[in-house]
Chains A and B, each alone.
Chain A
Amino acid sequence: MSVTLNDEPLLNVSGLTKYYGGRIGCQDVVFQLWPGEVLAIVGESGSGKTTLLNCLSTRLPPSTGVIEYRMRDGSMRNLYQLSEAERRFLMRTDWGFVHQHAADGLRMTVSAGANVGERLMAVGDRHYGKIRATAADWLGRVEISEDRIDDDPRSFSGGMRQRLQIARNLVTKPRLVFMDEPTGGLDVSVQARLLDLLRQLVADMGLAVIIVTHDLAVARLLSHRIMVMKDGLVIESGLTDQVLDDPREPYTQLLVSSILQV
């Protein structure tokens, strides 16, 4: 895990609030994310972490607040003032989104190779041989045997599907990846392998990641920083090992004490 002291944040979030009618989804969230930084958002179900992730990734417009993102040209843009075309371009080039359920992030009826190649084709790659070679390379990087390139993900195990989803997202070398419980629902041994793979890819590619998880071990392994959410509020944030080893808030202490050794 490495973080450079680049003085320009990649993401600048201020006063982010989402109401569902009268109910609070998340409230007054403020933070900055720097290139190469992995931020874990932890909390139990209903704490607002997924709402926050969806707001950040422009999948759910917030009620109030501003999210600014540093585009590849260096300009800082308000995400909710981007045109739909700009937003989509961002989502399929500079960003990734890894869903908890691989079926939400994959095209289940097309081959693994096409799943990985889709983003390349979306940005204009028109050479079949090169697209296929890149897809094969990425399957290798996520430890899927190259001879599965023409199989569709319905024939893949849960862990393989998740790894395929990761390859599909990373093929355009994004700078920011959102992950929603990427190891949820997987067997423990499969989880460990996936986490290890993620850790390596994140470090090798210098990705900035915002990962939502209720699993503090995942947060510990992957993230530099952590935000603890409860009832829609960020109640504690800081360096991951500091928050987990020296939790300050009552709720964080409860969370940390509720788990086995992490």
Chain B
Amino acid sequence: MSVETTSNLEQEYNFAYLDEQTKRMIRRAILKAIAIPGYQVPFASREMPMPYGWGTGGVQVTAAILGKADCLKMIDQGSDDTTNAVSLRGFFEKTAGVATTFKTQEASIIQTRHRIPETPLREDQIIVFQVPIPEPLRFLEPRETETRKMHALEDYGLMHVKLYEDIAKNGRIATTYAYPVKVAGRYLMDPSPTPKFDNPKIDRMAALQLYGAGREKRIYAVPPYTGVRSLDFEDHPFEIQSFDKPCGLCGAEGVYLDEVILDDEGGRLFVCSDTDHCEERRAAGHTGPMAADPAASQLSKGSSDAEDTVQ
């Protein structure tokens, strides 16, 4: 990534929309966040030309680190072609004019909502998470003054109260997303609403992880190769979801699957949530048990259609 101060593409916007002072402010927050892994750094979140909940935090972080030479991938629930991903990708194409891609391998910056790509990330990549509620203790302790003290004192028993409640009510830890983690043995962190399936990916990840919460005005980070441990009990250890079938289209196992309803007769299909991963595999010749199903092939075709419109 390189820092650019002007854009010759869209003269009416500064490069990547935000003014340079704002980007500097955000970069300072990011640097501080990297220095204190998992710690929520307050920042002066700006009004963005999109509603809160659409990723204003992630967009500001991306805008602050984006350079002209970067290649941006934008995913929403694993997919590059859902509304949120399409809109935010369009936003940066228009305001920064950077290259965009669907391919995890090609991207230098990946902004994501609710998923982490199946393909392991590299040291030269940065992943930016959109975070709705950065405070993992918030649902149990509404006072910000109190949660900040709890972080300062590493007073995290309360988080286990929530996990206890899960087991008491469901017989197991039923938290399946935004599963709380402890970063570098110190700060409790909400890994954003990614499925807990992705938690092992953020442990000792090669890429830098940046988390931005626009409405809550917080940035936090996990530097490359930082230990991230999912909380659990000795007798109820952390487990990720497992799927008893492979992806219907590409046959991948050990990946996160989405359920897709195919028709009104109860036909359903489990497919890779990470659409890029699925397509790469199919391109390489892998096929799943449902690949020949007409409804399923329609689905996979629809996905590549969307890709066409971007090009």
Report yes or no: B164 in contact with A113, Cβ–Cβ below 8 A.
Answer: yes
Report yes or no: B157 in contact with A121, Cβ–Cβ below 8 A.
Answer: yes
CB distance from B188 to the nearest CB of A (A): 13
Chain A residues in the interface with B (C-beta under 8 A): 84-85, 88, 92, 107, 110-111, 113-114, 117-119, 121-123, 126-129, 131-132, 149-150
Report yes or no: B160 in contact with A126, Cβ–Cβ below 8 A.
Answer: yes
Pick 20 A–B contacts, CB within 8 A, sort by A. Answer: A92-B157, A110-B140, A113-B164, A113-B168, A114-B161, A114-B164, A114-B168, A117-B164, A118-B158, A119-B157, A121-B158, A122-B155, A126-B160, A126-B234, A128-B164, A128-B233, A128-B234, A129-B235, A132-B164, A149-B168
Select which of A92, A114, A119, A122 is within 8 A of B165 by beta carbon.
Answer: A114
Residues in chain A near residue B161, CB distance under 8 A: 107, 110, 114, 117-118, 121
Cα distance, A131 to B232, chains bound together (Å): 13
Cα distance, A117 to B235, chains bound together (Å): 15
Residues in chain A near residue B153, CB distance under 8 A: 84-85, 88
B172 — nearest CB in chain A belongs to which residue? Answer: A128
Report yes or no: A150 in contact with B169, Cβ–Cβ below 8 A.
Answer: yes
Report yes or no: B164 in contact with A131, Cβ–Cβ below 8 A.
Answer: yes
CB distance from A115 to the nearest CB of B (A): 8
Residues in chain B near residue A127, CB distance under 8 A: 233-235
Hey, what's the 0/1 contact readout for B143-169 against A, CB within 8 Å counting as 1? 000000100110101101110110111
Additional 9 contacts, C-beta under 8 A, given A110-B165, A119-B157, A150-B169: A88-B153, A118-B158, A126-B160, A127-B233, A127-B234, A127-B235, A131-B233, A132-B164, A149-B168
Residues in chain A near residue B165, CB distance under 8 A: 110-111, 114
Cα distance, A122 to B158, chains bound together (Å): 7
Residues in chain B near residue A85, CB distance under 8 A: 153, 155
Residues in chain B near residue A123, CB distance under 8 A: 157
Residues in chain B near residue A84, CB distance under 8 A: 149, 152-153
Interface magnitude class on chain B: 20 to 34
Report yes or no: B236 in contact with A128, Cβ–Cβ below 8 A.
Answer: yes
Cα distance, A127 to B167, chains bound together (Å): 12
Task: Given A107-B140, A127-B234, decide whether A122 and B168 contact each other with a Cβ distance below 8 A.
Answer: no
CB distance from A261 to the nearest CB of B (A): 45
Report yes or no: B168 in contact with A118, Cβ–Cβ below 8 A.
Answer: no
Residues in chain B near residue A110, CB distance under 8 A: 140, 161-162, 165
CB distance from A148 to the nearest CB of B (A): 12
Task: Given A127-B234, A149-B168, decide whether A88 and B155 contact each other with a Cβ distance below 8 A.
Answer: yes
Residues in chain B near residue A113, CB distance under 8 A: 164, 168
CB distance from B84 to the nearest CB of A (A): 31
CB distance from A83 to the nearest CB of B (A): 9
Cα distance, A126 to B149, chains bound together (Å): 22
Residue from B153, B160, B235 whose CB has the most chain A CB atoms within 10 Å: B160
Report yes or no: B164 in contact with A122, Cβ–Cβ below 8 A.
Answer: no
Residue from A110, A114, A122 whose CB has the most chain B CB atoms within 10 Å: A114
Report yes or no: B233 in contact with A126, Cβ–Cβ below 8 A.
Answer: yes
Cα distance, A19 to B162, chains bound together (Å): 40
7 closest Cβ contacts across the A-B interface?
A: A122-B157, A121-B160, A128-B233, A121-B157, A127-B234, A85-B153, A114-B164
Residues in chain B near residue A122, CB distance under 8 A: 155, 157-158
Report yes or no: B168 in contact with A111, Cβ–Cβ below 8 A.
Answer: yes
Hey, what's the 0/1 contact readout for B210-247 against A, CB within 8 Å counting as 1? 00000000000000000000001111100000000000
Cα distance, A88 to B151, chains bound together (Å): 13
Residues in chain B near residue A114, CB distance under 8 A: 161, 164-165, 168
Residues in chain B near residue A119, CB distance under 8 A: 157
CB distance from B99 to the nearest CB of A (A): 47
Residues in chain B near residue A150, CB distance under 8 A: 168-169
A150 — nearest CB in chain B belongs to which residue? Answer: B168
Residues in chain B near residue A131, CB distance under 8 A: 164, 233
Residues in chain A near residue B233, CB distance under 8 A: 126-128, 131
CB distance from B294 to the nearest CB of A (A): 48
Cα distance, A110 to B165, chains bound together (Å): 7
CB distance from B217 to the nearest CB of A (A): 25
Cα distance, A114 to B157, chains bound together (Å): 11
A119 — nearest CB in chain B belongs to which residue? Answer: B157
Report yes or no: B157 in contact with A118, Cβ–Cβ below 8 A.
Answer: yes
A149 — nearest CB in chain B belongs to which residue? Answer: B168
